[in-house]
Amino acid sequence: MSDEAKAPKSRINAGCGVHTVDDPLWENCDKFPAVAGVRQVDFEQTPWPWADNSIDAILFNHSLEHMGQQPAVFLAMMQEIYRVCRHDARILVNAPHPRHDEFIGDPTHVRIVTADMFVLFSKKANQAFRDQNGANSCFAFQLGVDFEVVKNELVLDDRFKYLQDDPSWTRVALTQNNVIKETRLEIRVVKDAQ
């Protein structure tokens, strides 16, 4: 057995369904495992079965929007993400855009996922909210977590790809549904270096 095969898995594919990652460093997990080799984990139940500071990456590929309908459950999930991740770990989130029919039409979508939501879990942003007497929720301070949005990519629906070279396409997206199909986020976990 190679050293790589013996090494503990340090990346989680959370709520993978049948979309597994074929890499020995990734652990495919789902509440209802549909394929062989997927570990049964309910991410809405805490604590999660990983040690503190043991994870380098978590992927939520069209799964986070299905989790945490109750705010207390979602906030506990954010604390668990922070607990199990190492400093500088990456959280990768792909989710349908909340103004797209693929989000609106699925009754199991219980959570809108945006970069603005994750900003509420940033200590730097929370401090700015406080300094400006803002009314924003300061979840980073309240929950003892710290996340930084590294990338926020908005993917146009194929019907609107012709707009991609037009710098004003975001104005169209603000006034019409179905322009943006997907949000792709990369979030960095910020901790004191371990």
Instruction: Judge whether 144 and 79 are in contact, CB under 8 Å.
Output: yes
- What is the number of domains present in the chain? 1
Q: Tell me, yes or no, whether 154 lies in a domain.
A: yes
Mean pLDDT of the chain: 93
Rounded to an integer, what is the distance from CA 192 to the centroid of its chain? 21
Identify the band that residue 194 occupies on the pLDDT scale cut at 50, 70 and 90.
Answer: very low
Q: Tell me, yes or no, whether 151 lies in a domain.
A: yes
Q: Tell me, yes or no, whether 137 lies in a domain.
A: yes
CATH code for the domain of 164: 3.40.50.150
Q: In this predicted model, what pLDDT tens digit does every residue of 59-104 receive, in sequence order?
A: 999 999 999 999 999 999 999 999 999 999 999 999 999 999 999 9
Which pair of structure tokens corresponds to residue 20? 């597994």
Domain range enclosing 161: 3-189
Kindly write down the DSSP assignment for every residue of 81-100, as one continuous string.
Answer: HHHHEEEEEEEEEEEE-TTS
Q: Tell me, yes or no, whether 26 lies in a domain.
A: yes
Q: Tell me, yes or no, whether 64 lies in a domain.
A: yes
Q: Tell me, yes or no, whether 194 lies in a domain.
A: no
Q: Tell me, yes or no, whether 93 lies in a domain.
A: yes
